[in-house]
Amino acid sequence: MARKKKGKPWHLKVTWTLSIVMLLLIAGFFYQSFQEMLKIAPVQVAVERISEPNHATQENDSIPGDAIDDSRE
Amino acid sequence: MTDIININPPSGELPAEPSKDFPWRGIVEGLAWVALVAAFIIGQIAARPDYEGMLKEALPGEVLIRSEVNTTLPVVYRVEGKQDVIIMAEGEGYGGPLIVGVRARRSEDGGRLAEVLMLSHKESPAFMEKLRRGHFFKQFGGKDVSNNFIVDDDIDAVSGATVSSRGFTTAVREAVHLGAVNHLQLKPTWQKPGWAFGAEEAVLVLLFVLAFIAGYRKGNFAKTAKLIVMVGTLVFVGFYANVSLSLANISGIFMGYIPSPQQHPMWWIMMIGVLGSIVFLGRNIYCQQICPFMVVQDLAQKISGVKMKIDSRFQKRARTLIFFLSWVALMLIFLAAHPALGSYEPFAMMFSLEGLGIQWYILPASLLGSFFVPRFWCRLFCPVGLYLNELVRLRRRVRGWFPKNKTREA
C-alpha cells in the first residue's frame, strides 16, 4: 500500500505565503526607492513653493486664491 | 489550535545566534561592509549641495548675484533689478537637513516674506504629505519678516510631523531674520527661540519612566504602569507625535544628521531612553514596551486569537534575512544620502496614514501577518529590533570581558 505523502501543515503554508508576500513587497519598495534615487540629481529643485497670496508668481497664477503650488518637478 | 502555537522567540528574548554553517560567510560579510563604506563615500561626494544650481533651477527667470558675505549656509543672493533678497538656510528635520530658499521683499512698513522654496529635504514622504495636507506651508505666505517664526508661537506645527514643522520653521526663521537685519536694515524686534521642551516631551519622559518601572517591578502597580505605557505609546508615540524609531533614524546618525537638543528634545529623549536602557540596564526597552507598532501588532493578534507558528527553517534564517534587507536599505540610503529613501518600515505610514506607492501595500500586509502570527513584523522583518538586540548582545559580551562579571555569571 502506497504511503500517503505528508505535506506541510496548512498553517505553515499560510505563514510562508505571508512572509513571501511581504518580501516581494519590500523588494518592490526598494525598486521604487531606486527609481526615486535616480530622480534625485545633484541639483535638486523646489518641491514646495509658497508665495505671498497677493503677489502670485507665474507658477501660482493658475491657482487663484491658493498660495501653494504642490507640483513636484 | 495548540499545535500551531509556538511563539519563538518569546517576548523580550533575544533571537538565536546565527549558525556558522555557511563557509563563505566571512567573505560575504566583508564584501557587504566594503560595499556599504563605498556607497557612503560615493553618496557623500555626490550629495554635496550646489546651492546656486538649486536656486537657478527653481527661479529660472531671475538673475541672482551672490553676496560675498556668506560663503556657507546661510547664503545670500540679491536679485538683479529688484529690491528682493533671497537667502538660503538650513533647518533640521526628522530625517536630516532641510534646505529652504526665502525671498524677502521690502515693504512700506519694513519687509515681507514674499516666497519660500523648499529646495531639499530628507523627510519621509509621509511626513511631507502630512505637512502639505495640514496646510502648514500656507502659514508663511505674506508674513512680516519681523515675525518670530517660532512653532507654538506664531506658527502652528502639524501634529504627527512636529519635528519636520520645527525644522522647516527654523530654516525659514534663520533666513528671514538674516535678510531682515543685513539687507533690509531692520532692527531685530523678534523673540529668540528657547528650548522646545514642553508637554509633549514631558509625556515621552513619563512613558520611559513608567516603562522602566513596569519592567523592573512586579504587582498591581507594574501591571497598571504597563497598561498605561501600552496605551500611551500607541496614542502618543504613534498617532500623536509619530516618532517611532526607524532605519532612517539609525542611518541618519551615521550620516551626521543629529538634531540640536534645543530644537528637537524629543529625538534626544528617545535616543537617550532607548540607548540608556541598553547600556545601563542591558534591556531593549524600546521593542519590549515603547514601540507603538508592537502594540498595534499585539492588538491585531488579540482580535484574531490565532497564533500560527513560523516554519522553523524560515525562523532560523530570519536574522540573516533582516540583515540582508537592511543592507539593501542602507545601500540605497547611503548612495542617495537620504535616510527616508530606504526605510522600508510601515511605521510612519501607519500613524500618519500617508504614504506613497507600494508603501500602501506593505502596511496592510504586515498587519495581516500580525493577525495570524504574533509580532510578525518584529520577528521577521524589523531592522530596528534586530540592531537594538545586537546592542544588548554586544553589551553582554563586553561585560563578559571583565573578570568580576565572568565570576558572577559563572
B106 touches chain A (CB under 8 A): no
| Residue A38 in contact with partner chain B when CB distance is under 8 A | no
Question: Hey, is the C-beta of A45 within 8 angstroms of any chain B C-beta?
Answer: yes
Pick from A26, A40, A47: CB nearest B118: A47
Among the partner residues A32, A42, A46, nearest to B58 by beta-carbon distance: A46
Q: B369–A14: do the CB atoms touch at under 8 Å?
A: no
From A12, A26, A70, residue closest to B362, measured CB to CB: A26
Of the candidates B118, B308, B376, the beta carbon closest to that of A46 is on B118
Give me the pLDDT at residue B115, please: 83
**Residue A47: what pLDDT?**
62
Residue B335 near chain A (CB below 8 Å): yes
CB-based contact B372 A67, cutoff 8 Å: no
For B244-401, where are the alpha helices, taking DSSP H only?
247-254, 265-281, 285, 292-304, 312-316, 318-336, 339-342, 347-352, 359-372, 376-380, 383-401
Q: Report ipTM (2 d.p.).
A: 0.78
pTM of the full predicted structure? Answer: 0.78
Contact call for residues B236 and B204 (beta carbons, < 8 A): yes
**Residue A22 touches chain B, beta carbons under 8 Å:** yes
- Is B358's CB within 8 Å of A29's CB? yes
Cα B228 from Cα B217, distance rounded (Å): 15
- A65 to chain B, closest Cα gap in Å: 11
CB half-sphere exposure, B366, CA atoms < 13 A: 27
All three cell numbers of B91, joined, read: 533647518
Q: For B334, how many CA atoms within 13 A lie in the half-sphere containing its CB?
A: 19
**Measured between beta carbons, which residues in chain B are less than 8 angstroms from residue A21?**
365
pLDDT at A41: 53
- CB count within 10 Å of CB A24 equals 13
Q: Is A29's CB within 8 Å of B140's CB?
A: no
User: Is there a contact between B383 and B321 (Cβ–Cβ < 8 Å)?
Assistant: no
**Count of beta carbons in the 10 Å neighbourhood of residue B381:** 25
Give the Cα-Cα-Cα angle B150, B190, B197 (nearest 5 degrees): 35
pLDDT score, position B385:
93
For residue B29, what are the CA distances in angstroms to A53, B32, B317? 56, 5, 15
C-beta atoms of A25 and B362 within 8 A: yes
Of the candidates B261, B260, B342, the one whose C-alpha atom is nearest the C-alpha of residue B91 is B260
The pLDDT of residue B9 is 47
Question: Which residues, listed in sequence order, are joined to residue B155 by a DSSP beta bridge?
Answer: B151
Is the Cβ pair A50, B362 closer than 8 Å?
A: no
- What is the per-residue pLDDT for A2? 53
**Residue bearing cell 533640521:** B92
**Residue A30 banded pLDDT, cuts 50, 70, 90:** very high
Query: What is the model's pLDDT at position B349?
Result: 80
pLDDT value at position B3? Answer: 38
Instruction: Give the chain B residue nearest A15 (alpha carbons).
Output: B310
Residues of chain A with Cβ-Cβ distance to B48 below 8 Å are: 42
Inter-chain residue contact B362 with A44, CB threshold 8 Å: no
- Banded model confidence at residue A65, pLDDT cuts 50, 70, 90: very low
Which chain A positions have a beta carbon within 8 Å of B3's beta carbon?
9
pLDDT at residue B311, as a whole number: 82
Other CB atoms closer than 10 Å to residue B44's CB: what's the count?
13
pLDDT at residue B75, as a whole number: 81
Q: What are the structural domain ranges in chain B?
A: 2-15+22-43+197-409, 53-182
Q: Shortest CB distance from B359 goes to which of A29, A42, A67?
A: A29
Q: What is the mean pLDDT of chain A?
A: 65
What is the spatial distance between Cα B207 and Cα B12, in angstroms, rounded to a whole number?
Answer: 18
> CB within 8 A of B99, min separation 6: which ones?
B49, B51, B54, B73, B88, B89, B90, B118, B119, B120, B121, B171
State the smallest CA–CA distance between residue A35 and chain B in angstroms: 10
Q: At a CB cut-off of 8 Å and minimum separation 6, what does B48 contact?
A: A42
| Chain B residues with beta carbon closer than 8 angstroms to that of A70 | 132
Pairwise CA distance, residues B156 & B271, whole Å: 25
Q: Give 10-residue mean pLDDT values along chain B (410 residues).
A: 40 53 81 94 81 80 77 78 83 80 81 83 78 84 86 85 85 85 80 82 94 84 90 93 88 86 88 93 91 95 88 84 94 88 85 79 93 92 93 91 63
Angle at B207 between CA B164 and CA B204, to 5 degrees: 25
- Minimum distance, in Å, between the CA of residue A52 and any CA atom of chain B: 4
